[in-house]
C-alpha cells in the first residue's frame, strides 16, 4: 500500500487496482457453455393468493455473459446453417444432470427451406432453447435465442455430443452463441442477428463451406479446457478424472409442464 502511495495513486485508484488483481488471480479456463447462468433473480408468488388456474410457482430470471462469437466462430463451430420457419413449440420440460442440477428447456420444430452449411437428416429438425415453465418453475434467460412460432430465421446450429450439466441424449440442435446465432432477413437482402450483427447474402454464400464441419468440436473443446485446467493446477488429477468419467453421462428429462396437470 505504501508503494502505491509513493507512486502518487489515490485511494480510489488503489482500490480499483486491487480488485483487478483479485479478478486476475481468480481467472480460469471455462468449459464452453452456451447458457448464461451467472446471476439469478427469483420472483416467487404465493399460490395461496391465486386461483388454481393462476398458480404457476416461482419465476427465475437468469442472466449473464456469453462468449462472443466472431464471424469465423459462427461458420467454423456450426454443423448446420439453415433458413426456415419455426413451428409450434413443445411444452417446456425440466432436465436433471448427474450432479443433481436442474434446468428448463423448450424444443421448437424448425422446418428448413434452404441449407447453407451441413446436412439435416430431414426437412424438419428440433431446436432446443433454454427456459420455459416446468416443474412449477418458470425460467427466463437473458441473453437467449428468442424464437417465435411461425417466424422465419437463419440459424447457426451445433450439437454438443457430450453430457455435462444440461445436455440430454437425442437428435436435437442448439443455437450457437444464443442470440448471436439467430438472424432475420434485413431490408438490404442480407440478415441481421438478434445481437445486432449484419451478415450479407454474399458473405453467407462465400463462407458457408470455408471450414470443415467438426461435429465433435464442443466435446473436444471441453476435454482440452479440462486438460489446461489440470496443467495449470486449477483442478486436481482426481477432479480431472471425475470430469472425464462423466463425459458421457447425460442429463435426463424429469418433468414436463403437462406433468403438473
- Establish if 19 belongs to a structural domain: no
- Give the CA angle between residues 183, 124, 156 to the nearest 5°: 30
In the chain, how many domains are there? 1
Helix (H, G, I), strand (E, B) or coil at 69: coil
- Establish if 10 belongs to a structural domain: no
User: How far from the centroid of its chain's Cα atoms is residue 255's Cα?
Assistant: 21
Strands 124-130 and 173-175: parallel
- Establish if 33 belongs to a structural domain: no
Torsion of CA 166, 170, 172, 175, to 10 degrees: 20
155: number of Cβ within 10 Å: 25
Encode the chain (261 residues) as per-residue pLDDT tens digits.
433 333 344 444 333 333 333 333 333 333 344 544 444 444 443 333 333 333 457 999 999 888 999 999 999 999 999 999 999 777 799 999 878 889 999 999 999 999 999 998 779 999 999 999 998 899 999 999 999 999 999 999 999 888 877 889 889 999 999 999 999 999 989 999 999 999 999 999 999 999 999 999 999 999 999 999 999 999 999 999 988 988 899 999 987 655 544
- Establish if 169 belongs to a structural domain: yes
Torsion of CA 100, 106, 108, 114, to 10 degrees: -60
Helix (H, G, I), strand (E, B) or coil at 254: strand
Indicate the pTM of the whole model.
Answer: 0.77
Question: Which ranges of the chain does DSSP label H, i.e. alpha helix?
Answer: 2-6, 11-25, 71-77, 201-207, 217-231, 237-245
- Establish if 141 belongs to a structural domain: yes
- Establish if 27 belongs to a structural domain: no
**Residue 120 belongs to what domain range?**
39-218
- Establish if 227 belongs to a structural domain: no
Query: All 3 cell numbers of residue 128?
Result: 432446443
- Establish if 235 belongs to a structural domain: no
Compute the distance between CA of residue 94 and CA of residue 253 in angstroms, rounded to an integer: 6
Amino acid at each position: 500500500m505504501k508503494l502505491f502511495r509513493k507512486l502518487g495513486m489515490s485511494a480510489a485508484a488503489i482500490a480499483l487496482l486491487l480488485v483487478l488483481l483479485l479478478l486476475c488471480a481468480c481467472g480460469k479456463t471455462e468449459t464452453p457453455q452456451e447458457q448464461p447462468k451467472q446471476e439469478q433473480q427469483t420472483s416467487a408468488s404465493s399460490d395461496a393468493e391465486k386461483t388454481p388456474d393462476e398458480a404457476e410457482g416461482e419465476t427465475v430470471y437468469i442472466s449473464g455473459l456469453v462468449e462472443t462469437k466472431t464471424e469465423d466462430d459462427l461458420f467454423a463451430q456450426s454443423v448446420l446453417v439453415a433458413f426456415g420457419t419455426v413451428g409450434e413449440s413443445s411444452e417446456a420440460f425440466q432436465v436433471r444432470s448427474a450432479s443433481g442440477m436442474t434446468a428448463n428447456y423448450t424444443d421448437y420444430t424448425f422446418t428448413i427451406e434452404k441449407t447453407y452449411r451441413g446436412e439435416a437428416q430431414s426437412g424438419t429438425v428440433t431446436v432446443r432453447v433454454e427456459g420455459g415453465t416446468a416443474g412449477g418453475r418458470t425460467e427466463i434467460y437473458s441473453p437467449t435465442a428468442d424464437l417465435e412460432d411461425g417466424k422465419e430465421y437463419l440459424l447457426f446450429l451445433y450439437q454438443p455430443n457430450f453430457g455435462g450439466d444440461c445436455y440430454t441424449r437425442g437428435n436435437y440442435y442448439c443455437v450457437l452463441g444464443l442470440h448471436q446465432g439467430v438472424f432475420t432477413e434485413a431490408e438490404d437482402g442480407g440478415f441481421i442477428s438478434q445481437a445486432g450483427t449484419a451478415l450479407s447474402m454474399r458473405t453467407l454464400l462465400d463462407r458457408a463451406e470455408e471450414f470443415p464441419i467438426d461435429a465433435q468440436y464442443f466435446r473436444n473443446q471441453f476435454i482440452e479446457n479440462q486438460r489446461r485446467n489440470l496443467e495449470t493446477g486449477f483442478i486436481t488429477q482426481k477432479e480431472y478424472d471425475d470430469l472425464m468419467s462423466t463425459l458421457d453421462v447425460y442429463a435426463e428429462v424429469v418433468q414436463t409442464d403437462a406433468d403438473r396437470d
